[in-house]
Amino acid sequence: MPLTWWPIIILMRMLAMRRDDKMTDNPYQSPDANVDKTADQKRRPIRAILISFVVDVGGTFLGIAVMAIIYVGILTYSGKTRSEIDHLLSTSDPTTLFNILVALWGVLMSFIGGFICVRIARARDYNYPIVLASLVFIFGIVTSWAALEIYEILLWSTLSFGATMLGAQRALGSQLASTPEEY
């Protein structure tokens, strides 16, 4: 055996000695590991709400930006002028394909935000997702105030609130179904 392999062999033996208490002689038996959820895991509600808010709002803005770039490219390719493209992007007609896709993307991101809020916070109820949904609701109203009519603002913000709560309900349901004795 070449001399260059000796440090690797010594390191492997040292690692094997550290694992001896956890390993058995049977190579087909799985090692002992505690893979169950423990009750002493910390809850992180503030972190959960902040991360979920960034995922919801940031993901929505990022998705809208990508969709807008693609939409402008399609409109440019179809021969629309710059003023026509500006008019199409600035109208808030909810029946256009672009606005429907934007709304669906926003609802999806709100759903994901509610889901991960429950998962990160290890929540057992709707307290943290309600805080998240309220923050997103208020943020939606504040940022859309000058651009949309009041009924549109309330419609989209309420839809976002509901999607956040549905995501939270989905996460809570899967948590309760997977480990009913802990909750």
Q: What confidence tens digit (pLDDT) does each residue in 2-60 have?
A: 556 667 777 677 666 555 455 567 777 776 666 666 555 677 889 999 999 999 999 99
Token code pair at residue 62: 């990022």
CA dihedral in degrees (7, 10, 15, 20; nearest 10)? 170
- pLDDT computed for residue 177 by the predictor: 58
Q: Is residue 38 part of a domain?
A: no
Q: Quote the mean pLDDT of the chain.
A: 82
pLDDT for residue 181 is more than 60: no
Q: Is residue 14 part of a domain?
A: no
Comparing 13-27, 67-81, 142-156, 158-172, the range with the smallest average pLDDT is 13-27
Q: Is residue 157 part of a domain?
A: yes
pLDDT for residue 1 is more than 70: no
Q: Is residue 28 part of a domain?
A: no
Token code pair at residue 103: 């709304």
> Binning pLDDT at 50, 70 and 90, where does residue 169 land?
very high
- Percent of the chain, pLDDT > 90? 43
CA dihedral in degrees (43, 47, 48, 51; nearest 10)? -160
Q: Is residue 99 part of a domain?
A: yes
Token code pair at residue 30: 């799985």
Angle between helices 97-121 and 127-144 (to 10 degrees): 150
Q: Is residue 59 part of a domain?
A: yes
Q: Is residue 2 part of a domain?
A: no
Number of domains in the chain: 1
- pLDDT computed for residue 183 by the predictor: 45
Domain around 75: 45-177
> Which residues 6+ apart lie within 8 Å of 5 measured at CB?
none
- Determine how many CB atoms are found less than 10 A away from the CB of residue 122: 17
User: Residue 128: phi, psi to the nearest 5?
Assistant: -70, -40
- Determine how many CB atoms are found less than 10 A away from the CB of residue 99: 15
Q: Is residue 13 part of a domain?
A: no
- pLDDT computed for residue 124 by the predictor: 86
Q: What is the pTM of this model?
A: 0.71
